[in-house]
Amino acid sequence: MLRHLHIQNYALITHLDLDLEGGFSVLTGETGAGKSIILGALNLVMGGRADTKAITDGEDKCIIEAEFDECIVRRELYSNGKSRSFVDDSVVTLAELKTLAARLIDIHSQHANLLLENDDFQLSVVDAMAGNTAERETYTARYEAYLNAQKALRDMQALAKKTQADADYIAYRYKVLVDAQLESGEMEELEEEQFRLSHAEEIRGALDTAVNALNGEEGSVLDLLRMCNLSTAAPELQERLESVTIEIKDIADEANRIAERTEFAPERLAQVEERLSLLNDLLRKYNAENEEELIQMRDELQRQNDQIGSFDVDIAHLQKELDAKTRALAEAAAALRKTREAVRKPISGQLVSDLTRLGIAHAQIDIAITDTDDFTSAGKDDVQFMFAANLNQSLRRVSEVASGGEISRIMLCIKALIASKNGLPTIIFDEIDTGVSGEIASQMGDIMQQMAQSRQIIAITHLPQIAAKGQTQYLVYKADTETRTETHIRHLTDEERVSQIATMLSGKHPTPAAMENARQLLAQSH
Q: How do residues 315-326 score in pLDDT, each as one tens digit?
A: 999 999 999 999
Give the domain range for residue 526. 493-526
Half-sphere exposure (CA, 13 Å, Cβ side) for 54? 27
The answer to whether the beta carbons of residues 216 and 256 sit under 8 Å apart is: no
Q: Domain holding 478: CATH number?
A: 3.40.50.300
Do 220 and 249 belong to one domain? Answer: yes
Around 386, how many Cα atoms within 13 Å sit in the side-chain half-sphere? Answer: 13
Question: Both 88 and 198 in a single domain?
Answer: no
CB distance 311 to 164 below 8 Å: yes
| Contact in structure between 416 and 443 (CB atoms under 8 Å) | no
C-alpha distance from residue 14 to each of 135, 380, 401 (Å): 49, 51, 44
Beta bridge partner(s), residue 108 = 429
Contact, 455 vs 426, CB < 8 A?
A: yes
Cα–Cα distance between 348 and 223 in angstroms, integer?
123
Pairing state between β 24-28 and 72-78: unpaired
> What is the distance, to the nearest Å, from the Cα of residue 320 to the centroid of all Cα atoms in its chain?
30
Residues 335 and 252 in one domain: yes
Is residue 445 located within the same domain as residue 521?
no
Same domain, 87 and 201: no
Say if residue 149 is in the same domain as residue 289: yes
Residues 154 and 295 in one domain: yes
Sign of the dihedral through C-alpha 420, 421, 423, 429: negative
Helix (H) or strand (E) holding 87: strand 83-87
Residues of the chain with pLDDT under 70: 110, 113, 165, 198-214, 216-219, 222-225, 227, 230-234, 259-265, 309
Task: Give the pLDDT of residue 271.
Answer: 85
Note whether 86 and 147 are same-domain residues: no
Measured over the CA atoms of residue 353, residue 358, residue 364 and residue 370, the dihedral's sign is negative
Q: Global pTM?
A: 0.68
Give the angle 420-425-428 at the CA atoms, nearest 5°.
90
Cβ neighbours of residue 206 closer than 8 Å, sequence gap 6 or more: none
For residues 255 and 302, state if they share a domain: yes
- Is the domain of 62 the same as that of 186? no
Residues 223, 251 share a domain: yes
CB–CB of 387/402 below 8 Å?
yes
Cα separation, 121 vs 411, whole angstroms: 11
Alpha-carbon gap, residue 445 to 287, rounded angstroms: 80
Within-domain flag for 369: no
The SS3 of residue 227 is coil
Which DSSP letter does residue 116 get?
Answer: G
- 3-class state of residue 9 by DSSP: strand
Q: With H, G, I as helix, E, B as strand and everything else as coil, classify residue 148.
A: helix
- Could you tell me if residue 204 is inside a domain? yes
| Structural domain total, the chain | 3
From 304, 339, 374, the end of a domain falls on: 339
Measured distance CA(380)–CA(341) in Å, rounded = 13
Between the alpha carbon of residue 152 and those of residues 15, 156, 161, 184, 362, the distances in Å are 58, 6, 14, 37, 54
Q: Are strands 456-460 and 426-430 parallel, antiparallel or unpaired?
A: parallel
Q: Considering the domain boundaries, does residue 390 fall inside one?
A: no
**137 in the same domain as 100:** no
Report yes or no on 455 lying in a domain.
Answer: yes
Residue 380 within any structural domain of the chain:
no
